[in-house]
Amino acid sequence: MVQNNDSNDISQLSFEDSMKALEKIVAKIDSGEGSLEEMVSSFEIAVKLHRHCTMKLEQARMKIEKVVNVQDKKVEVESMSCDDG
């Protein structure tokens, strides 16, 4: 699991690994096991992981929305939709 001051470790994690670490922390906090200090420390790591996941999702969104030059030199944005119908 990610340690307290390992922001560099968090930045190297994939989205999936970040989510797994975040889920473990949430389960630990929900269980009520550990001291208040451990809970606060875990919460701080969870916030960093959440921010990292949000950034990864934004990067993925930006890759999905690619800019295409149309014949008449207009710019059109193609977006993928989550709704398949």
Banded model confidence at residue 3, pLDDT cuts 50, 70, 90: low
Percent of the chain with pLDDT over 70: 67
pLDDT score recorded for residue 73: 56
**Which CATH architecture group holds 7-78?**
Orthogonal Bundle (1.10)
Q: Please tell me whether residue 79 adopts helix, strand or coil conformation.
A: coil
73 sits in the region (left: phi over 0; alpha: psi -120 to 50; else beta) called left
Banded model confidence at residue 78, pLDDT cuts 50, 70, 90: low
42-70 residue pLDDT tens: 999 999 999 999 999 999 888 777 554 44
Q: Are strands 66-69 and 75-78 parallel, antiparallel or unpaired?
A: antiparallel
